[in-house]
Amino acid sequence: MSQLEHIEAIEKRFWNAADTLRANSNYASNEYFLPVMGLIFLRHAYSRFLAVREGVEAALPTRWGKTRPLSKEDFSCESAIYLKPEAQFDYLASLKEGESRAQAIIAAMNSIEADYTNLRGVLPKIEYFEIENDVLGPNKGCYVHNLCP
C-alpha cells in the first residue's frame, strides 16, 4: 500500500468515526472537535508508546539482578509519552459495558497531565460526559472502535 493510499484509508476511518459520533450524539460537528482530537491524541500516544517500549525496556539498567522501573524520562528520550496502564488506549477500548468510558477517558487525561506539566489544562475532559457511554466504546460499532487498527 502506497503512503497516499495509507493516508486515504486513515482519512476514511476518521470520517466514519466522525459520522458515527454525529449520528449517536447531540453534538453538532463543530462541538465534537475536542473530544475527537482528545481520543486521537490518546491513540497516537499509545501507538508511539508501544513502538518504543520494547527498546526502552531493553535499555533499562540492572543492579543486583533488579531492573529499574520504567519512567517518563525513558520515554521522553525517545520522543514518546509514558502512559500508565489506565491511560493506555487498549485499556480504554476494553472497558466493560457498564463502566463509565467518560470517567475512564478523563482519568487517562488526568494521568497524562499529572506527569507532563506542559499538557495541564490542555487536554479535553468534561466534554466526554456529554457523549453517551456506548458511543465512546467498541460496542455497537461505535467511535473508539473506529480508531483501533
Global model pTM greater than 0.85: no
Residue 5: per-residue pLDDT: 74
As a whole number of angstroms, the distance between CA 39 and CA 136 comes to 9
pLDDT band at 21 (very low <50, low <70, confident <90, very high): low
pLDDT in tens, 92-111: 988 988 899 999 999 999 99
148 has pLDDT over 60: no
Q: How confident is the prediction for the chain on average, in pLDDT?
A: 83
CATH number at residue 80: 1.20.1260.30
Residue 141: per-residue pLDDT: 43
39 has pLDDT over 80: yes
CA dihedral angle for residue 82, residue 32, residue 148, residue 40, rounded to 10 degrees:
-30
Cα separations in angstroms, 4 against 10, 11, 110, 123: 10, 10, 35, 30
22 has pLDDT over 90: no
Range of the domain at 96: 3-147
40: closest CA among 109, 94, 103?
A: 109
Residue 116: per-residue pLDDT: 94
DSSP state of 136: S
pLDDT (average), residues 17-43: 77
* Residue 22 or 76, more confident: 76
As a whole number of angstroms, the distance between CA 149 and CA 144 comes to 11
pLDDT in tens, 126-139: 888 887 787 777 64
149 has pLDDT over 50: no
As a whole number of angstroms, the distance between CA 46 and CA 143 comes to 17
Number of domains the chain is built from: 1
